[in-house]
Amino acid sequence: MEQLSERFLRYAKIDTQSNSESETCPSTEKQWTLAKMLFQELKDMGMEEVSIDDNAYVMASLPANTDTDVPVIGFIAHFDTSPDFTAETVNPLIHENYNGGDLVLNKEKNIVLSPKDFGELNLYKGQTLITTDGTTLLGADDKAGITEIMGAMEYLLEHPEIKHGKIRVGFNPDEEIGRGAHLFDVKKFGAQWAYTMDGGQIGELEYENFNAAGARVTIKGVSVHPGTAYKQMINSMLVANKFISLLPADQVPERTQKYEGFFHLNHMNGTVEDTELYYIIRDHDKKLFEEKKDLFMKTVDQVNSEYGQKLISVDMQDQYYNMREKIEPNMHIIEIAEQAMKEVAVEPNIKAIRGGTDGAQLSFKGLPCPNIFAGGHNFHGKFEFIPVPSMKKAMEVIVKITELTSEKYS
């Protein structure tokens, strides 16, 4: 666990925040720092077919050590962190033998991680936790996944008595802005199936996710001096308020759970003359997903009609779809992962993702790719934390999957 902690801390301190406004890949130059580090570490540990392409996608192979015809499988994680919360100067704190009380992350700013607010902390009494210092995110999403994959490959190289087929690993940029799989070369990767190590709490195993769309809403107003604005000014921010109020108030993230979808106002900025909203639209059910998009556009038409002119325009794009339809014909890959968890004393928690992973897009590109826990909690914010034993268990699950796959096809 000390080696896992050291590796994770090294990765976490590198700022790899992605940027949805950028048109390059990777979306930020700083992602190259970790990509190049991983490329070199893979070579140094003895992996083969190590490559890094012009867009910072890193791949490598662990050769088979058995003569039987075992399918090539893969493990994937992303190295960017959320664009919505700062990752500059990440300074992780280590809390050994957590006693179940409050954890002071930043005394000066009175930032406290408390089980009163985050009850899941009670699950990890006596364990070593890694947290933020209250000023940045931690980056366990998904540097924990990278740590676990790298640790598992190193372990397998050191223990050739564990028989396995060819293993492929892949690390990519820009998952947090929905582009991680866009330039992922599935043919080059060459696996029959893979797993993203990008889930949350220990035990999570996921092969369902949201259908997802993003909508950029542009609202045009008319700016006039407020003293002479009667029947002339159109305040675009108030038009935005009207639009927001017409969407279902109960279909927002903070009021939905499990399989319930939502409309999420993710960003907004405005003046009297110009306002921009950015929404994400989510639902597990494809029919309900299409109905949500239709309602969104009808609401735009309704507001425009009320004002008698086209004040609101929308650029809506589908982002990814529910991977369930691609995984269900290949349920053996879920069964192997479930058995692997049980054999390393982890209770599987098969659930739907209230979000998405690169695995969703990769599944539709021909690489069935469910998601396995990486062990972290409270991603994308200052209260993010990860128990070190959860990372160790995730690494053990990877190793066991390779072993079980070899046994199944021997």
Structure tokens at 10: 């090294």
Q: Is 286 left (phi over 0), alpha (psi -120 to 50) or beta?
A: alpha
Structure tokens at 407: 């046994």
Residue by residue, DSSP assigns 304-331 as HHHHTS--EEEEEEEEE--THHHHGGGT
The yes-or-no answer on residue 254 being catalytic is: no
* Other C-beta atoms lying within 10 Å of the C-beta of residue 247: 17
Question: What are the CA-CA distances from residue 327 to residues 205, 305, 362 (Å)?
Answer: 12, 44, 11
**255 and 106, same structural domain?**
no
**Number of domains composing the chain:** 2
* Residue entry with tokens 């639009």: 243
**115 and 9, same structural domain?**
yes
**339 and 312, same structural domain?**
no
| CATH number of 293's domain | 3.30.70.360
Q: What is the pLDDT of residues 302-343, one digit of tens each?
A: 999 999 999 999 999 998 999 999 999 999 999 999 999 999
pLDDT category at 3 given cuts 50, 70, 90 is: very high
**Domain boundaries, position 269:** 216-320
Task: Look up residue 140 and give its amino acid.
Answer: A
**329 and 227, same structural domain?**
no
What is the length of the chain? 410
* Residue entry with tokens 């268990």: 393
**262 and 143, same structural domain?**
no
Q: How far apart are CA 157 and CA 74, in angstroms?
A: 16
Please give the model's pTM, rounded to 2 decimal places. Answer: 0.90
Structure tokens at 397: 């699950």
Active-site pick, 80, 154, 174, 198: 80
Domain boundary pick from 320, 339, 359: 320
**156 and 144, same structural domain?**
yes
Q: What is the pLDDT of residues 76-106, one digit of tens each?
A: 999 999 999 999 999 999 999 999 999 999 9
Q: What is the pLDDT of residues 348-382, one digit of tens each?
A: 999 999 988 899 999 999 999 999 999 999 999 99
Domain boundary pick from 320, 346, 373: 320
Q: How far apart are CA 366 and CA 309, in angstroms?
A: 45
**170 and 232, same structural domain?**
no
Active-site pick, 141, 142, 174, 175: 175
Question: What are the CA-CA distances from residue 41 to residues 50, 81, 90, 91, 369 (Å)?
Answer: 10, 20, 21, 22, 25
The yes-or-no answer on residue 175 being catalytic is: yes
